[in-house]
Amino acid sequence: MARGEDLARSVEDVLVLLRSKGGRVTTARRQLLSALFDAPSHVTADDLAAAVQARAPDVHISTIYRNLDELERLGVVVHTHLGHGPATYHLSSASHGHLVCESCGATIEAPPAVFEQLAKEAIERFGFRIDPRHFAVLGRCADCASAGSAGRR
Amino acid sequence: MARGEDLARSVEDVLVLLRSKGGRVTTARRQLLSALFDAPSHVTADDLAAAVQARAPDVHISTIYRNLDELERLGVVVHTHLGHGPATYHLSSASHGHLVCESCGATIEAPPAVFEQLAKEAIERFGFRIDPRHFAVLGRCADCASAGSAGRR
DNA sequence: GTGCTTGCAAACGTTTTGCAGACTC
DNA sequence: GAGTCTGCAAAACGTTTGCAAGCAC
């Protein structure tokens, strides 16, 4: 059960983990990790590519995807589908649920406690173990809700 | 506040609603609605296209998308992003939350009660009004969870 | 040297768009 | 007849893949 998330405290930690699984340490990987550690949460693969390319221009977006995949397999990052649009990625240590406003796109990071009761209900009723990191709860933020029911979508 | 969902009890109801907004009643729309009323929940645009085309072969997938959009604007249908893959649509009257297993893809329809506490927390903490119809909660279903932590992804 | 990783280009599946013609009202 | 809706083709979008060359070990 010991997983990447426990060990991934720094870029170097992850590189060690990677090497221990027979992986190689490359510039692309080092830069991607560095971008992930620096990034605000909710970065898209594209954002990450831009950050990486600022320092290593030749790194291709497909390499970003491949490595994000790899890092996810190691448990170092998770990705989330925020409603429409591209998936967003972040370190699994920065785990949290998301509340995304359908009107204005604002994203609120919700502490796990908010999902606790839901998690409990899901287990009790269906034996279903939710993973609150992996999806977004859509709705209306305070501002948009009070702006009236005007403007659906 | 009176919205499509309240009135949309049958294909004809929706057509009336449509007409009242200056829309026209066409074969494509009639068939799409009929497909929606017949369909199990969680149908993709493609599924709907297939159902419609069984009776009206020339209806193009782009028409399906355009009309689903329109119907969503009217509040008659909602769409949901089930993890990866295509969006799924259903009548908003058939509203419910979704629990989707990341391992096996099983979909559990959860009654609104399951989301009640989450809804309350979100409002209290953030003034955020959740829309539990519009997203999926990912995790592990009972079978996959008990099958051990084997098989991440 | 072995074999994991990469860049590139090309494909993928889903969804959106522009347009001219067809149809509803 | 006015204006909405349609089919079609083509593009957009995010993502994945095959391949040969390149690099870490």
d(CA A82, CA A103): 13
Return the domain boundaries, chain A.
4-92, 96-151
Alpha carbon separation from B91 to A90, B26, B76, B133 (Å, rounded):
34, 19, 6, 10
A132 — contact with chain B (CB < 8 Å)?
A: yes
- Give the lowest-confidence range in A76-80, A107-111, B34-38: A107-111
Tens digit of pLDDT for each residue in B71-88? 999 989 988 887 678 998
**Shared fold status for A4-92 and A96-151:** no
**Does A11 have pLDDT greater than 70?**
yes
- pLDDT band at B93, cuts 50/70/90? confident
- Give the lowest-confidence range in A99-113, B51-65, B82-96: A99-113
Q: How far apart are the first and last CA of chain A?
A: 42
- pLDDT band at B124, cuts 50/70/90? confident
Tens digit of pLDDT for each residue in A66-105? 999 999 999 999 888 877 789 999 898 766 677 877 666 6
Return positions of chain C under 7 A from a protein CB: 3-10, 13-18, 23-25
Question: What stretches of chain B show up as alpha helix (H) in DSSP?
Answer: 4-7, 11-20, 27-38, 45-55, 61-73, 113-126, 142-146
Burial of B116 (0-12, 13-18, 19+ CB in 10 A): middle
Q: Tell me which residue of A146, A131, A45 sits closest to A101, measured CA to CA.
A: A146
Mutate which of A115, A137, A140, A152 to test chain B, going by most B C-beta atoms within 10 A?
Answer: A137
Whether residue A128 and residue B101 make contact (CB cut-off 8 A), yes or no, is yes
Chain B residues whose CB is inside 8 A of the A68 CB are: none
**Does A63 have pLDDT greater than 80?**
yes
**Does B94 have pLDDT greater than 70?**
no
For strand C, is any atom closer than 7 Å to the CB of B66?
A: yes
- What pLDDT is attached to residue B153? 36
B94 backbone dihedrals φ, ψ, rounded to 5°:
-90, 40
Architecture of domain A4-92: Orthogonal Bundle (1.10)
Which among A130, A132, A140 is the nearest to B129, CB-wise? A140
- What pLDDT is attached to residue A8? 63
DSSP, collapsed to helix, strand or coil, labels residue A44 as strand
Which among A125, A127, A145 is the nearest to B114, CB-wise? A125
- What pLDDT is attached to residue B96? 67
Residue corresponding to tokens 């099958």: B147
**Does B151 have pLDDT greater than 50?**
no
- The integer distance in angstroms from the CA atom of A15 to the C1' atom of C7 is 22
User: In chain A, how long is the greatest CA-to-CA distance?
Assistant: 56
Q: How near does any CA of chain B get to the CA of A69, in Å? A: 10
Whether residue A1 and residue B149 make contact (CB cut-off 8 A), yes or no, is yes
Residue corresponding to tokens 């009135």: B7
Q: Provide the residue type at A35 as one letter.
A: A
- Give the lowest-confidence range in A14-18, B19-23, B56-60, B101-105: B101-105
> What is the average pLDDT across A116-134?
81
Whether residue A110 and residue B126 make contact (CB cut-off 8 A), yes or no, is yes
B1 — contact with chain A (CB < 8 Å)?
A: yes
- Whether the CA torsion B86, B92, B93, B95 is positive or negative: it is positive
Residue nearest to nucleotide C9 (CA to C1'): A62
What class is the A96-151 domain?
alpha beta
d(CA A78, CA A132): 11
Q: What is the token pair recorded at B36? A: 């929606």
For strand C, is any atom closer than 7 Å to the CB of A66?
A: yes
